[in-house]
């Protein structure tokens, strides 16, 4: 999995993921997200358009990061989830907890 970070106004980090998010790559994502959600009022958009696959470890990292961001007065949002990822979050009952947006611009704007 490839991870890149860009910063956008207003004080929002955009994390772009490419490849597979699974048991082997989840620790890398966790390290990146932990660093971003430790800031005051963290606002993090995770662009998942380039994900080919996401397993339970990946979902857990995203949900945990969102919980930590909420504790610090911020949030984590997902942008451009595939149909598979959207259905996965719906099935797990997480679509109402972790906001899903059609693209990065919508996630930042909202």
In angstroms, what is the C-alpha Rg of the chain?
12
Of 7, 3, 1, the closest CA to residue 108 belongs to 7
SS3 category, 61: helix
Determine if the pTM surpasses 0.85.
yes
**How many of the other CB atoms lie within 10 Å of CB of 43?**
21
- pLDDT tens digit at each of 110 positions of the chain: 788 788 777 789 999 999 999 999 999 999 999 999 999 999 999 999 999 999 999 999 999 999 999 999 999 999 999 999 999 999 999 988 999 999 999 999 87
Contact 41, 10 (CB under 8 A): no
């Amino acid at each position: 999995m490839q991870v890149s970070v860009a910063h956008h106004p207003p004080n929002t980090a955009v994390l772009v993921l490419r490849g597979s998010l699974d048991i082997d790559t989840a620790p890398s994502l966790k390290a990146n997200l932990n660093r971003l959600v430790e800031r005051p009022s963290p606002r993090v958009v995770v662009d998942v358009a380039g994900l080919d696959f996401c397993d339970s470890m990946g979902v857990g990292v995203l949900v945990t990061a969102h919980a930590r961001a909420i504790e610090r007065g911020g949030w984590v949002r997902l942008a451009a989830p595939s149909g598979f990822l959207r259905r996965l979050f719906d099935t797990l009952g997480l679509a109402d907890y972790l906001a899903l947006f059609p693209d990065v611009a919508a996630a930042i704007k909202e």
